[in-house]
Structure 1
């Protein structure tokens, strides 16, 4: 009876002090036999402890933190390397430190590449294509000045040195997107002496991509839509000579940044449920939805979890450098010993939990295409939405967020989201409300991603679902597939066309 009373007290409570639970020593034993003297995790009670007021208060804190970058960036941001990001890390770590030793905390510093484009311009013939945009992590043009040359068509998809004709040297390589990474295309163009490169799309849409890891052979590289490339391609194939001017003033530099990891002291350390969100924003804005909403959801769930005992360890991660190409999560998994890899039963990604024009999106992670267990996690989300009488929709599991390194290295993964720059359909308007034809997040990667850019209903619903996912696996992995020996894909294999929000293929 006493245990039941204690559990009922959790309803609506935010902290242990509000619960008025007697404090137990680390050596004390509860009726359930756990070392912390707390009731065993229960999904209903953990969900009930999630309050939108707490989330919104944290969002206000995060926006104030983003404002500390204004001296350097002239606007609020939490991009890696900024004061706003440094203080974001301090905020998260300090909050976790105040949770009474419930977690073992660690900071994982790692080198990160930060790229900034200050100015850019591409002129092809007598036209300035509207869709031309510099690739992320592109180097500048020579001496940060305009360079001139003819546009030279590269054979095939520009993935082999033999695709680049000799006359690319001193000119601008015109390369079709596909098969290999943008970084590979830029590097091959640079090796044969191109002064710049333009990667054009085989589809009508624009190309917003990243060169990923910088090399000395990368050249200034633009993306160009298939719509703008079509007439140019026709002229080149007809033998016309097209001159071009490329200009990029950019900086690519290496900095140090940090992941934050918190793992429950209690729970089986050989069977961990892991979840993560990213602590950084893009340089263009404060990132309160992307991914303040996800990182603060994790912080609130981690806070409320301290009212309970767990059977399996729970490991929270706040990744740095996600916006620069999933740098933090890549680093974490890359340096993880195989025996530690095997202790992670699954990884759950929570990125953008409260988009204003939201849809309840579930990554369509299947066992056929991903590590076994990914589909069971997907179905947990589906079952929960259905139980609440809520609609949901599937989105591709295509490498756009921090789950990518985990599934590449044999760890089951999945997650939920509420939408980024994609356009809501009429069918989704009927399912979720909002406005068809608009982006799910009209302020995606913009200055207006502030405290007014989160939908409270979606954020609260999804934070409760995150709590449910944690509680389910912190209690038991019964009926969840056992891990088999981790299988790592070859370094040159690309199972996903995205790596973060930018295309890599």
Structure 2
């Protein structure tokens, strides 16, 4: 028998689902089903049931669904089984990737000039592919800027071997985020004889994800550094830069450069194979938690849409993707795109990406396909603006506010953009801090992260906003069904019509999976 709490939860989700009354901006032929009607077959409560399953899988597998673990394999089995039963041709695309996890929790403790223990995942965080070790040593700042430059991404701390002139071998190198990759900084430090590396955020104040004072996470990109490497907040780095500082830094990690994992690709039985409409989400979590918002939420929305979509004979071919190893640098989607022939790429008329669609302190973010804000990353490939406009029409129809979010290349749309394929999608926020203006517009709490359990153990089923999940699931369904029947696709009506845009470069995620540069 269901508990009262469960009944109340389903009622809340059902009420949120009632918002989903989409408008259609692309008109199918009169003989086709109405995409507006079809999209309403996909509901928030059904997506929530997939999230409950992902939570159960994590609970049974050490609390994680990270690629390379039994929890991810069980997630793949669940999704692939549901898709096969719905009638899809399902392919498990195997690829090799460099696996990483913390075996035991890292620690950072100051021992001089006075004792202080820093809080893991609040003050500091181990970087992906950090080596293992325990070192007590003096902290030596390397070309840091305190106070920081007023302009973000200008610090060159640790980017050149010459920065380490006068560095004392055996010390812990303290560097600042900036113009080069974390790997370059760490490699230069190792060459100079450092026994540990601390990289702190650059320090510029900003709004949301542009705030460079918050906790810095990221990856070295490959398991080639054999000493401890952690990222910190700007405040922690500033404190550690004080003369006479000694710390104990301990990390205990595992890296396997040849671990195998899978992408899931599901092809519909219907539609023109020369006009492929793709929608995708990464299925993996970080090793530290179950990843229910990041990115069980996007996976659940895409899965539920796919389960409904294959009932209908669509005009265009639908292809749904569930990516592996995204959390280690978009590795699954990069593998997929890199192995497509030029002819296969030309058949993909658009890619829709859904990464974190139910953040508890959400905003409704739509990828800015036309760079209408003229800030940050430029536009996506030609046609991305049309995708953005379709999502905007949906949010207007359901009377929900929305905002633009840059194409920075920090989620699985990145490889598609680089291939010149029009892209779009939704994002409700990660570790960035919600502004007062956003709180007034979307509700929620200003001065608090969009998802304060981002990449943490607490990213559980309790970390999902049901309204955001329902509204965005409706948006996924609407866009999928519109493009399933549209004769006017963003990527053009004939193969080979995709043209690259000017934006979308870089490796710095909306959330810090890659974090390679700066």
The reply to whether TM is greater than 0.5 is: yes
Match of 1:230 in 2: 238
Aligned counterparts of 1:81 and 1:231: Cα–Cα separation in 2: 37
Contact 2:93 2:262 in 1 (8 A): yes
Q: Residues of 2 paired with 1:354 and 1:232: CA distance?
A: 36
> How far did 1:385 drift?
0.9
Query: Given that residues 41 and 474 in structure 1 are in contact (C-alpha distance below 8 angstroms), is that contact kept between their aligned partners in structure 2?
Result: no
1:333 Cα deviation (Å)?
A: 1.9
User: What residue number does 1:189 align with?
Assistant: 189
Which of 59, 74, 79 is 1:87 aligned to?
Answer: 74
Deviation at 1:182, TM superposition (A): 0.5
Cα distance in 2 for partners of 1:59, 1:126 equals: 48
After the TM superposition, which residues 32-51 of structure 1 pair with which residues of structure 2 at under 5 Å, given as runs?
A: 40-51=32-43
Corresponding position of 1:106: 91
Give how far 1:230 is off: 3.3
Tell me the equivalent position of 1:22.
none
* SS of corresponding position for 1:167: coil
User: Helix, strand or coil: the match of 2:167?
Assistant: helix
Going from structure 1 to structure 2, the CA distance change for 1:202 and 1:437 (only over 3 Å counts) comes to closer
Shift of 1:218: 5.3
What are the residue-to-residue correspondences of 1:205-244 with 2, within 5 Å? 205-217=213-225, 219-230=227-238, 233=241, 242-244=245-247
Question: Aligned-pair distance for 1:377?
Answer: 1.2
Aligned counterpart in structure 2 of residue 351 of structure 1, from 334, 355, 380: 355
Aligned counterpart, 1:459? 469
Q: Aligned partners of 1:332 and 1:429: how far apart in 2?
A: 38
TM-score normalised to the size of structure 1? 0.81
The answer on whether the counterparts of 1:166 and 1:192 sit within 8 Å (CA) in structure 2 is no
Q: Distance in 2 between matches of 1:114 and 1:86?
A: 14
Residue aligning to 2:458: 448
**Corresponding residue number in structure 2 for 1:326:** 330
Q: Shift in Å at residue 427 of structure 1?
A: 3.2
CA offset at residue 468 of structure 1?
A: 1.2
SS in 1 for 2:75: helix
- Structure 1 pair 163–486 and aligned structure 2 pair: CA distance change class (3 A): farther
Q: CA deviation at 1:295?
A: 0.8
CA RMSD of the aligned region, Å?
2.9
Q: Does residue 370 of the first structure (1) align with residue 380 of the second (2)?
A: yes
| Equivalent runs, 1:331-342 vs 2, <5 Å | 331-342=335-346
CA distance in 2, matches of 1:189, 1:231: 20
Matches within 5 A, 1:392-403: 392-403=402-413
User: Which one has more relative contact order, counting CA pairs under 8 Å at least 6 apart?
Assistant: 2
Q: Cα offset for 1:290?
A: 1.9
Q: 1:54 to 1:106 in 2, by over 3 A?
A: same
Are the equivalent residues in 1 in contact too, given 2:45–2:470 (CA < 8 A)? no
Separation of aligned partners in 2, 1:195 and 1:174: 11
Which position in structure 2 is the counterpart of 1:174? 174
CA shift, 1:324, in A, is 2.5
Shift in Å, 1:138? 0.7
Asked whether the 8 Å contact 1:341–1:486 carries over to 2, the reply is no
| 1:211-235 Cα deviation digits (max 9, x unpaired) | 34325345321223322333555x5
Bigger drift between 149-158 and 350-359 goes to 149-158
CA distance in structure 1 between the aligned counterparts of 2:344 and 2:358, rounded to whole angstroms: 32
Shift of 1:486: 6.5
1:56 to 44, 48, 57: 48
Partner in structure 2 of residue 21 of structure 1: none
Is 2:394–2:475's contact at 8 Å kept on the other side of the alignment? yes
Distance 1:169 1:450 in 2: 43
Contact kept? 1:137, 1:211, Cα under 8 Å = yes
1:36 aligned partner: none
Which has the higher mean CA deviation after the structures are superposed, 50-59 or 474-483? 474-483
Aligned to 1:433: 443
Q: CA 1:219/1:463 → structure 2, altered by over 3 Å: closer, same or farther? A: same
Name the structure 1 match of 2:201. Answer: 201
Deviation of 1:481 after TM superposition, in Å, equals 4.8
- CA separation of 1:42 and 1:80: change in aligned 2, threshold 3 A: same
Scaled by the length of structure 2, the TM-score of the pair is 0.79
Q: Count how many residue pairs are aligned between Structure 1 and Structure 2.
A: 452
For residue 3 of structure 2, what is the aligned residue in structure 1?
none
CA–CA distance in 2 between the matches of 1:374 and 1:415?
10
Alignment of 1:115 onto 2:100 = yes
Q: Is the 8 A contact 1:151 1:241 kept in 2?
A: no
Q: Structure 1 residues 321, 434: CA separation in 2 closer, same or farther (over 3 Å shift)?
A: same
How far the C-alpha of 1:329 sits from its partner, in A, is 1.4
Deviation, 1:244, is 4.5
Distance 1:116 1:488, change over 3 A: farther
**Whole-angstrom distance in 1 between the partners of 2:193 and 2:390:** 53
Match of 1:495 in 2: 506
Q: Deviations over 1:179-201 (max 9, x none)?
A: 11101211222233322222232
1: CA distance, partners of 2:183 / 2:221: 8
Quickly say closer, same or farther: Cα 1:389–1:207, change in 2 above 3 A. Answer: closer
Q: Distance in 1 between matches of 2:143 and 2:441?
A: 46
- On the 8 A contact 1:183/1:210 being kept in 2, the answer is no
Deviations 1:124-143 (A, max 9, x none): 743547323321221113xx
What CA distance in whole angstroms lies between the structure 2 residues aligned with 1:441 and 1:228? 21
Alpha-carbon contact 1:152-1:168 (below 8 Å) kept? no
Q: Shift in Å at residue 470 of structure 1? A: 0.9
- Preserved CA contact (<8 Å) 1:183 1:218: no
